[in-house]
Structures are given as C-alpha cells and as structure tokens.
Amino acid sequence: MRAPGSRILTSSRARWSAARPQPGSSRGARWTGITRRSPLTSPGQFLPPPPPVFGSPEYLTALAEIRQLSDTRTAEQTRIALFWAQGAGTITTGGYWNVIATDIIKQHDMSEREATHVYALLNASMFDAAIGCWTAKLTYWFIRPSQADHGITLIPAIGLPNHPSYPSGHSCASSAAAEVLTGFFPDERDRLDAMVIEAGLSRMYAGIHYRFDIEAGQTLGRSVARFAIAADALGNSVLTPQ
C-alpha cells in the first residue's frame, strides 16, 4: 500500500498539528463559537461521521491515491489546483461563487430584490457550511496527507493549509453555493455540479486533501444548503423577502 520512498507516520502521531506557529493562521478556528440567527439548530447539526481510522486499509488506500497524484501531477492538474486555490489575498472561494452568482443573475435579468434574495441565501449558506466544516475539523483534528507521507510533494504557491484536513473547506463552501444556486436556477445544475467536482479534485491535485475529505465536505455543504432552502421556502428564514 505504500509508494516507494514514502515514510508513513505511526498512529501515535496521526493527529494534525500546525505546520507553522503563526497566531491566528488557522483560518476558521473561531467560527465554531459564533452564534447568530440561522436556520441551523447547532454548529454540529450536520457533523460528518469520523474519517477512516489512521493506518486502516481504507485510510492507506486514500493516502496512496494522493501520493500517486503527487508523483504523476500533470501541468493541467497543477493549473486546476492553482485556479481553485483562492487563498488569502485573493477573491477567495466564497468571493468566486459570488462572481458566478452575479453572472447567472445577469443572464436571468433578475430584479434587484430577487438578486438580493439569491446573494443573501448564498452567502448565509456558505457561512453556515464553514461553521459546520470547522466544527468538524476541530472535532476530528485529522492529519493532512503530506504530514502522514512525507513523500507527497505540495505546490509551492499553495502550500499546506494551517488547519486539519477533514473535511475539505473548499468542498463545504462550493457544494453549499452550488446547491443554493441550483435551487434558484435549476437549468444550471450540470455546470455547477461540474465546478464542485473540479474544486474538490483541485485539492487532491494539490496534495492537501484525501478523497474522503472532499466527499464529506460536499455532503455537509449540500445538507446545510438544503436545510436553509427549506427553511426559506417555509418563511422560517431571516432571508425570506417580506
């Protein structure tokens, strides 16, 4: 199960730890304590099940997949990873999904009131997905692939995010955003779903997430968005137009 030249950590060191001691650098670490008016009943309402046990066959298979992608990373995979990185100092993942929303809103010639409704539900859902995501990250404290197998190489321009691996924050946000936009614009589903898939794969190409991180993030994000959409439709959301 191990790639040649890899060095796998023992289970006693399987817990995530900060790669660099920078105060406040673990983005989202304080979101779990935020309370506000929201459709969610608690930050952990959609807490995903635990990730695979470190060292188990399922885990080693997932780790080997990231090592293989690292060893054979193509120029196109690098391009995709860099495109979706959208870290500090950029428009960010949430900002990019607002750009997508703006384009679709213009195509559908929505009124200002209608557009405001889209933006409000979109951003509230992404924020709630982020709260749920970091609640999970700080519940499981799961190690990053390159911290478990030191043979996995990272893309220097992306580096290693300074927070736990499980689940993927990009997938939580992207899947929540796509689900909300699909609710307003059903004809855009295929394109939006394809973007969610690519956003998830980009993190695997970068060597910073396992596939199970991506899948858990997508499930969490969609669940948060669907819950918010249902509450909004029933008039139970602070976002429902009056």
Give bridge partners of residue 149 from the DSSP assignment: 8
Residue 217 maps to a domain: yes
Q: Is residue 45 in some structural domain?
A: no
Question: Does 106 reside within a domain?
Answer: yes
Does 14 map to a domain? no
Please indicate, yes or no, if residue 186 is contained in any of the structural domains: yes
Domain, as residue range, for 224: 63-233
pLDDT of residue 20: 59
For residue 201, give every residue at least 6 positions away whose Cβ sits within 8 Å of its Cβ, in sequence order, or none: 80, 214
Alpha-helical regions (H) of the chain: 57-71, 75-85, 92-107, 112-140, 145-148, 169-184, 189-205, 211-233
> CA-to-CA distance for 46 and 133, rounded, in angstroms?
9
Whether residue 114 lies inside any domain: the answer is yes
Domain-embedded: residue 242: no
Judge whether 171 lies within some domain.
yes
Residue 18 identity (one-letter amino acid): A
CA distances from 31 to 127, 184, 240 (A): 9, 27, 24
Supply the pLDDT for residue 19. 66
Q: pLDDT at position 235, please?
A: 80
- Structural domain count, the chain: 1
In the block, residue with structure tokens 């602070």: 238
Low-confidence ranges of the chain (pLDDT < 50): 1-8, 10, 12, 22-25, 241
- Angle (CA) 181-161-148 rounded to 5° is 120
Residues linked to residue 8 through DSSP beta bridges, in sequence order: 149
- Per the CB < 8 A criterion, the answer to whether 146 and 208 are in contact is yes
Cα gap 151→6, rounded to integer Å = 5
**90-115 confidence digits (pLDDT tens):** 889 999 999 999 999 999 999 999 99
CATH code for position 191: 1.10.606.20
Write out pLDDT tens, residues 173-184: 999 999 999 999
